[in-house]
Structure 1
């Protein structure tokens, strides 16, 4: 018997990355164009939270407008919205949320080495030292740190903080898929801090020892990953682990 079932086509959205500045004068709604391919938009989610149509966003034809009033309530760093459709795969829009109301005066740097140097393994194990090189304290909840890598097989992932002076429970981790894969990175995980982490004193430093794995424990290939340090076994200045304060890059560089 011939199967005449029509194949399901995924919808698409443009853009898949965007930025939003909390500074009042720079705030604007963000328009997203949908290519529905026969589907309809069901919901938009931020993690487990569902955005409210008409309040957080509006829909007109194939255009979704994410309201600035909603974006202004999001935490600094990366916010990923998931567009879910009546059929096909969900599509992600990653926002970089910044606040240039006051330009950051913080001066931070990252030192790093990898606890596991093998070319292949089921765990990424970078160890970070965040150093405050300025003359004033930095509020850690304003700080984000990124590690860029290739996932080597799309699977759900888990983040663990094994130890930090500010308390492991006060260190957060989020995974972001790059909208356009690079040769040396198609994902990054972003380390952040809760308000309970407090501040990092002038001249002070903290260690952040983390692990990342896929939920099925399949291997990553670290060789060639952008942020991977294949040589050192102790802390060295590492510009390939960029740091952001209030959404502004202040140390290191992202992959080209």
Structure 2
């Protein structure tokens, strides 16, 4: 298991993470499709837990290192550092090829996001191909309780990987799938 952290209250990060502000505008480019499933459907949890994978819907091969994914959530008043863990990934390089950073947002259902990325070891996606899934957790360093039901990206009814536009995907920083909050 590997994790990256960011300060819950101030949005700062560890030396290996960065914090950026969510962008708005743009629209899906039609190159990517994001599949999401909740791992824990409880309303109140000590860690958000979900699964994601990416599908290349375009006609060109895409380097996974050019793809990022944002899971949008609320910090629910957490006061300790946020951590992001990849418990499992079935992409080349495994969980060590999935990067995690936190950013701030300004929507009612999302004042934070976890951004997932991929190292070059994760390889490429051919047209029509689907990446392996990544199993992700978000938690505070002191395991403070969080409410998932007020999070933009959360849907307890999605227990199997399903296209879900409330988890966004980007190619080279441009929104390629989904709708930001």
* TM-score normalised by structure 2 residue count: 0.81
1:163 aligns with 2:53: no
Q: Choose from 73, 85, 89 the match for 1:149.
A: 73
In the aligned structure 2, how far is the partner of 1:95 from the partner of 1:222?
A: 21
In the aligned structure 1, how far is the partner of 2:90 from the partner of 2:54?
A: 11
Greater RCO, 1 or 2 (C-alpha within 8 Å, sep 6+):
2
Closer, same or farther: CA 139–96 of 1 in aligned 2, 3 Å: farther
1:116 counterpart residue number? 40
Q: Choose from 185, 188, 198 the match for 2:113.
A: 188
In the aligned structure 2, how far is the partner of 1:240 from the partner of 1:224?
A: 13
In 1, are the aligned partners of 2:75 and 2:112 still within 8 Å (CA)? yes
Q: Choose from 194, 197, 202 the match for 2:122.
A: 197
Aligned residue for 1:239, secondary structure, equals coil
Higher-Rg structure is 1
CA RMSD of superposed structures (Å): 2.4
1:176 aligns with 2:103: yes
Aligned residue for 1:205, secondary structure, equals coil
In the aligned structure 1, how far is the partner of 2:139 from the partner of 2:36?
A: 19
In 1, are the aligned partners of 2:30 and 2:177 still within 8 Å (CA)? no
Residue 96 of structure 1, CA deviation: 7.1
In the aligned structure 2, how far is the partner of 1:118 from the partner of 1:232?
A: 12
Closer, same or farther: CA 254–223 of 1 in aligned 2, 3 Å: same
Structure 2: 5+ residue runs without aligned partners?
A: 1-11
Number of corresponding residues: 162
Alignment deviations for residues 38-80 of structure 1 (CA, whole Å, 9 cap, x no partner): xxxxxxx98539xxxxxxxxxxxxxxxxxxxxxxxxxxxx954
Aligned residue for 1:168, secondary structure, equals helix
Aligned residue for 2:69, secondary structure, equals strand
Aligned residue for 2:48, secondary structure, equals coil
Residue 95 of structure 1, CA deviation: 5.8
Aligned residue for 1:169, secondary structure, equals helix
1:131 counterpart residue number? 55
Aligned residue for 2:65, secondary structure, equals helix
